């Protein structure tokens, strides 16, 4: 679940950035999702909670990348529309890190914005970007750099270290969630941990009943949460060899059938089969 408080601010910012990009005439357009204002805390720049996704549209085609695999990249203007995928292998474009992945059938879709190099989403048949804000969709989300969140702030926590160990400690000490089945795991050859997470109670924030799990730092953005409406989620935290911060891969499980795979084991198995194809590249 990607919390929504900052979406309206970001849409306005995306418009202004798009106007400035159009006037400058240089390079590909960049939306506020990647270029949102941030505070600076050495060595990492911190993305504010207002840095959420602008409306985008998908390119109609999936041309081959320089490596020969297909791509499916979304633009930074218009409505948010997932880019439809066919069965087979794809490569992201402009991500940090870039990723190759394989989907098992038509009906999957992606959100790969070059303007948001730290956030990537995959949706199975029956899932959608529209369901991310309210926790009703199944999806696989990659967030390149995450840290523990502050309580109801949408900003990084001051009570936990902004490290891999600090992130794990926050999650396992958090009485607003239940963490189970914690184990060693790897994604794309990068080692780390995996855990299953369920909602127990909200953080007590005035804008809704949810428990914040992490905040994305540049090149990522956003506050990621779990709510009572979700069946649960499976979280992978892995060591990025190019960063001191953990990379997160989240399998969101929307309640009452967030995709054609249904809830629980059926969806987790399908998502795992896709994650097993992940390969990170510079």
Report the alpha-carbon angle 212-251-249, nearest 5: 80
- Work out the angle at residue 223's Cα, subtended by the Cα atoms of residues 46 and 80, and round it to the nearest 5 degrees: 110
pLDDT of 68 over the 90 cut = no
Q: What is the pLDDT of residue 17?
A: 33
201-239 burial, b for 16+ CB within 10 Å, e for fewer? ebeebeeeebbbbbbbbbbbbbbbbbbebbbbbbbbbbb
Last residue of a domain, one of 66, 100, 115: 115
Are residues 276 and 147 located together in one domain of the fold?
yes
Report which DSSP code applies to 254.
Answer: E
Rounded to whole angstroms, the Cα distance separating 200 from 177 reads: 5
With respect to residue 243, please indicate whether it lies within any of the assigned structural domains: yes
Domain assignment present for residue 131? The answer is no
- Please indicate, yes or no, whether residues 86 and 160 belong to a single structural domain of this protein: no
Which position has the higher pLDDT, 103 or 17? 103
Residue 13 shares a structural domain with residue 108: yes
Do 269 and 148 share a domain, yes or no? yes
Q: Is residue 113 scored above 80 in pLDDT?
A: yes
Give 163's DSSP letter: S
- The answer as to whether 222 is a domain residue is yes
| Domain-embedded: residue 128 | no
pTM of the model: 0.80
Averaged pLDDT of the chain: 80
The predicted-structure confidence for 118-176, as pLDDT tens digits, reads as follows 999 999 999 998 888 788 999 999 999 999 999 999 999 999 999 999 999 999 999 99
> Which pLDDT does position 256 carry in this prediction?
85
Residues 163 and 263 in one domain: yes
- pLDDT computed for residue 170 by the predictor: 98
User: Do 100 and 220 share a structural domain?
Assistant: no
Q: What pLDDT is attached to residue 130?
A: 87
| Same domain assignment for residues 89 and 165 | no
Higher pLDDT, 3 or 147: 147
Instruction: For Cα atoms 279, 275, 243, give the angle at the middle one, nearest 5 degrees.
Output: 55
Same domain as 228, residue 181: yes
**Helix or strand holding residue 280 (H, E):** strand 279-281
Structural domains in the chain (count): 2
Residue 122 lies in a domain: no
Q: What percent of the chain has pLDDT over 90?
A: 64
Does a structural domain hold residue 159? yes
Residues 154 and 271 in one domain: yes
Q: Print the domain residue range for 48.
A: 7-115
Among residues 59, 61, 80, 103, which one has the least CA distance to residue 2? 80
The tens digit of pLDDT for each residue in 199-245 reads 999 999 998 899 999 999 999 999 999 999 899 999 999 999 988 89
Pair 148, 277 in one domain: yes
Read off the pLDDT of residues 264-274 as tens digits, 9 standing for 90 and up: 999 999 999 99
104 shares its domain with 200: no
The pLDDT, as a whole number, for residue 13 is 31
pLDDT tens, residue by residue, 16-50 = 333 233 333 333 222 233 333 333 232 222 333 33
Confidence of residue 277 (pLDDT cuts 50, 70, 90): very high
Does 110 fall in a domain? yes
DSSP H or E stretch at residue 253:
strand 246-254
C-alpha 102/C-alpha 188 separation (Å) is: 12
Residue 22 and residue 86 in one domain: yes
* Within-domain flag for 75: yes
């Amino acid at each position: 679940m990607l919390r929504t408080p900052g979406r309206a601010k970001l849409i306005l910012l995306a418009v202004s950035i798009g106007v400035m990009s159009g006037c400058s005439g240089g390079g590909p357009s960049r939306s506020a999702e990647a270029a949102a204002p941030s505070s600076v805390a050495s060595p990492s720049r911190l993305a504010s909670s207002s840095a959420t996704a602008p409306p985008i549209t998908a390119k109609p085609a999936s041309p081959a990348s320089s490596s020969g695999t297909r791509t499916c990249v979304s633009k930074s203007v218009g409505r948010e529309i997932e880019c439809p995928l066919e069965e087979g292998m794809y490569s992201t474009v402009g991500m940090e890190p870039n990723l190759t992945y394989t989907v098992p059938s038509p009906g999957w879709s992606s959100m790969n914005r070059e303007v948001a190099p730290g956030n990537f989403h995959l949706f199975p048949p029956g899932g959608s970007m529209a369901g991310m804000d309210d926790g009703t969709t199944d999806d696989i989300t990659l967030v390149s750099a995450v840290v523990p969140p502050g309580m109801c702030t949408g900003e990084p926590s001051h009570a936990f270290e902004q490290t891999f160990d600090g992130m794990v400690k926050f999650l396992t000490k958090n009485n607003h969630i239940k963490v189970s089945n914690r184990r060693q795991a790897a994604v794309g050859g990068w080692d780390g941990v995996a855990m299953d997470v369920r909602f127990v109670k909200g953080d007590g924030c005035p804008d809704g009943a949810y428990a914040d799990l992490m905040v994305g730092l540049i090149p990522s953005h956003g506050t990621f949460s779990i709510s009572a409406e979700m069946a649960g989620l499976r979280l992978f935290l892995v060591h990025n060899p190019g960063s001191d911060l953990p990379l997160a891969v989240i399998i969101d499980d929307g309640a009452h059938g967030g995709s054609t795979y249904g809830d629980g084991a059926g969806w987790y198995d399908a998502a795992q089969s896709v994650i097993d194809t992940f390969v990170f590249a510079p």
